[in-house]
Structure 1
C-alpha cells in the first residue's frame, strides 16, 4: 500500500467516523429528519453511503457481482441510485450495516494490487482514486446530514483530496455538459482550512481561480450555489467552469439554490 493510499484511507475513515458520531445517538424521528437534498432524510443519506460503499467493494473484489449492478443500473439509469438509497433507508440496522461496509471496503482497498484498476460507473479507478471518491462522497453527504440536523461542521485539511479531485475533473465537467474542454490549463490557488495555500496548474497561466478550499469542494460536489462562495474566476473559461463544475461521476445534478 502506497503512502498516498494510506493517507487517503485514514482520512476517509476519519470522515466516516465524524458522521457516525453525529448519527449514532439519533432516535427514529431523528433519522427521518429532512436534509437539503429534496426527498432525502438523514437515513437516506447514510443509506446511499452504505449502498455505494457496498458497490465499490464489489468493484474491487467481485466482478460478477459488479456486472450485475451495472445491468440493473442500465435498466433504470435515471432512478436506480436513488431507488437503492430509499430502499435501504428503511433498514432497522442501517448504521451497523454501514459500519460493516466501510470496514470491508477499507480492507479491500488497502489490499488491492498496486497499479491494478477496478471498474466504476466512470473511468476505471485505482485503489487511491476509489478511496478519494469515497472520501468526497462521504464528506458531501455528511454536509447534508449536518445541515439537516442543524449541527455545525468544521472543515479540516482532509478536504485536500477532494480539492485535488475537483481540479483534476475540470475536463470531465465540460464533457458531461457536451462542451469542449479549454485547451489551456488554469492556475488554481485555494486557501486550506489550516491557512496554507494549495495550488494546481502553471504559475503563469492566463486564467486563474482563487478562494477557499472549503467553498471549492462544496461547489464541485454541488453542495453550494456559486453565488454563495468566495471563489474568484479570472478568465472566461474559468468562469464557465465554475457554473458547471462537478467532481462526481454521472449526469449533471441540479445543484443548490442560492441562499
Structure 2
C-alpha cells in the first residue's frame, strides 16, 4: 500500500504546480519578459528553471546514468550552470516553454508515483527518496512562484502546503552553516510556526530548547527560501544562535545566496541556487 505521507506530498506538488500555472498560463507573450525580484531573471527564466530542475528530477528517477551526465556538466561550470539552464529555456517562445513545463510536470508526477517508496535516487547533494524529492520540488515551485507573483503584483493566499517548505527549512539548519564554513550549534532549536489556516502551530525541536524561532509559517518560508529579508518579516528569535540562524537560513542546496535586500533597499545581487 502506498505511503500516505508520500501520496500527500505528491498531491501537494501537483496542486502547487497548478496554482503557478494559473498565474502564467494565459499571459500574453510580452509578459514573459517581465523582470522578477531575482536579479537578471525574467518571468520566463523562473519557469525555465523549474522545467530544467523537473527534468533533472525525472532523469534521477528514471535514468541514473543520464542524470550522472548532468552532474558532470554542472561540475564543469558550478557557478553558472543554473543560470545557463534558465537562460536556455527562457530563450524559447513562451508557448513552447509553457508546454514543455506542463509536459515535464506530468512526466515527473507519474515517475514519482511509480518510484519504490524505500529507494533512494541520486541528486546534486545526498540521494533522496521520492517523497523527499517531491517535497524539494514543491519548495522550489513555491519559491519561484513567489517571484512570479511578485512580478505580476499578485498576492497569493498561503496554504497548508507550506508545511513541506517549513520542514525542509528546519532540517536544512546545519547546511546553512556548513555552506558558509561555520560550525553549526550543537543543540537543537525549537521552531513554532503559526499555520496559514489559523490552525497549528507547526512545531519542530524539543519544547524546552533554549534557542527558539517563532512567527507565521509564511514568513519563515519566505526567509528560508530567501524570498524576503528578515527585517520585513514577523519572526522572533530567542537566543544568539537562533538569531544568527535567521541571518543565514536557506532551504535550498547550493552555494550560500546573498538573500534579498530589505524592502526599499538596494537591488539584490545575482546568486546561484533558487533565486
What range describes the TM-score normalised by the shorter chain of this pair?
over 0.9
Distance 2:175 2:35 in 1: 31
Write out per-residue CA displacement over residues 21-55 of structure 1, whole angstroms, 9 at most, x where no aligned residue.
Answer: 11111111111111000111111100000000000
Aligned to 2:272: none
The structure 2 residue matched to 1:136, chosen from 124, 133, 139, is 139
C-alpha deviation, 1:90, in angstroms: 1.8
Distance 1:76 1:169 in 2: 24
The 5 A counterparts of 1:115-194 are 115-194=118-197
Aligned to 1:247: 251
The structure 1 residue matched to 2:108, chosen from 100, 105, 108, is 105
Secondary structure of 2:251 counterpart: coil
The structure 1 residue matched to 2:206, chosen from 202, 207, 214, is 202
Secondary structure of 1:211 counterpart: strand
C-alpha deviation, 1:246, in angstroms: 0.5
The 5 A counterparts of 1:86-105 are 86-92=87-93, 93-105=96-108
The 5 A counterparts of 1:32-51 are 32-51=33-52
C-alpha deviation, 1:121, in angstroms: 0.8
C-alpha deviation, 1:66, in angstroms: 0.5
C-alpha deviation, 1:249, in angstroms: 0.6
Write out per-residue CA displacement over residues 193-250 of structure 1, whole angstroms, 9 at most, x where no aligned residue.
Answer: 0112110011111111100000000100000001111110001111111111001110
| Structure 1 residue ranges, 4+ long, deviating more than 4 angstroms after superposition | none
Gaps of 5+ in 1: none
The size of the alignment, in residue pairs, is 259
Using the size of structure 2 for normalisation, the TM-score is 0.93
- In the alignment, structure 1 residue 211 sits paired with structure 2 residue 212: no
Aligned to 2:273: none
Secondary structure of 1:206 counterpart: coil
Distance 1:44 1:186 in 2: 36
The 5 A counterparts of 1:223-238 are 223-238=227-242
C-alpha root-mean-square deviation of aligned residues, in Å? Answer: 0.8
Write out per-residue CA displacement over residues 79-103 of structure 1, whole angstroms, 9 at most, x where no aligned residue.
Answer: 0111011111122201110011001
- Name which of structure 1's ranges 132-141 and 57-66 shifts more when overlaid on structure 2: 57-66
Secondary structure of 1:258 counterpart: coil
Gaps of 5+ in 2: 264-275
Secondary structure of 2:215 counterpart: strand
